[in-house]
Amino acid sequence: MSMLSRLGQVRRCAATLTPVLGTVAARWKHSLPDLTYDYGALEPHINAEIMQLHHSKHHATYVNNLNVTEEKYQEALAKGDVTAQVSLQPALRFNGGGHINHTIFWTNLSPNGGGEPQGELAAAINRDFGSFQALKDKMSAATVAVQGSGWGWLGFDRESGKLRITACPNQDPLQGTTGLVPLLGIDVWEHAYYLQYKNVRPDYVKAIWNVINWENVSERLQAAKK
Ligand SMILES: [Fe+2]
């Protein structure tokens, strides 16, 4: 077969694949997850105005931009345009990370949260940090210290079987950039606290422990161990 007829065959395949990819892309469009509590339900620790803007505007923007980026990525894949694929990666990391991180964050919070973790999670915290208070102190310090915008994380290291505390810049997703499985994330972008706490990030981080959903964190640990 000549090179030209081979190219023709590839083009025909690409032409028949494009609608299929389009269908797949449409089917897999990401959407903003509903919260299981009202915007005002975390008051007085996080006020309703922050929650409404954070969920319906900020998270929604990550979702929309992720869908746009994935659509462009599908087009680049279909064309075999590696340059375009590479140039889309920062947008994929930022908006994909933003969607992943916020989706976890909403479930990490609950109006019935706070208190202390129980069961296996509590045992793992005591084993790896010494005490619950030590975990809170260490994670608060790492989270407050994030330079600019980012997240503090409690993650599970599948290789060692241990819990780890770390921080990620911007919207870098924990698992995609460090390999740790995310259990609990604290968003310290200013959009997460500025309307209520102004520039006093430590007060916001101190308050958020009152609404942490430890049941959700425990479920994530169980799932990470499988
Ligand atoms: Fe955020």
Total length of the chain: 226
In angstroms, the Cα distances linking 168 to 69, 131, 180, 186 are: 22, 24, 11, 10
CA–centroid distance, residue 160 to ligand 1 (Å): 30
3-state secondary structure 84-149: HHHHHHHHHHHHHHHHHHHHHHHHHECCCCCCCCCHHHHHHHHHHHCCHHHHHHHHHHHHHCCCCC
Q: Chain-wide mean pLDDT for the chain?
A: 91
Centre of ligand 1 to C-alpha 71, Å, is 24
How far, in Å, is the centroid of ligand 1 from the Cα of 190?
8
Helix 132-144, helix 201-208: angle, nearest 10: 150
pTM, rounded to two decimals: 0.88
If you measure from the C-alpha of residue 187 to the centroid of ligand 1, how many angstroms do you get, rounded to a whole number?
6
Distance in Å, CA 189 to ligand 1 centroid: 6
pLDDT of amino acid 27? 56
State pLDDT tens for residues 17-74: 444 444 454 557 999 999 999 999 999 999 999 999 999 999 999 999 999 999 999 9
Cα(19) to centroid of ligand 1, in Å?
35
In this prediction, what percent of the chain has a pLDDT beyond 90? 88
Please tell me the distance between residue 128's alpha carbon and the centre of ligand 1 in angstroms. 28
Q: Residue 122: count other Cβ atoms within 10 Å of its Cβ.
A: 16
Measured CA to CA, the distance from residue 162 to residue 32 in angstroms comes to 32
CB atoms within 5 A of ion ligand 1 belong to 187, 189, 192
CA of 98 relative to ligand 1 center, distance in Å? 7
Ligand 1 centroid–CA 170 distance in Å is 10
Backbone angles phi, psi at 65, to 5 degrees: -70, -30
Q: Is the pLDDT confidence value at 110 over 80?
A: yes
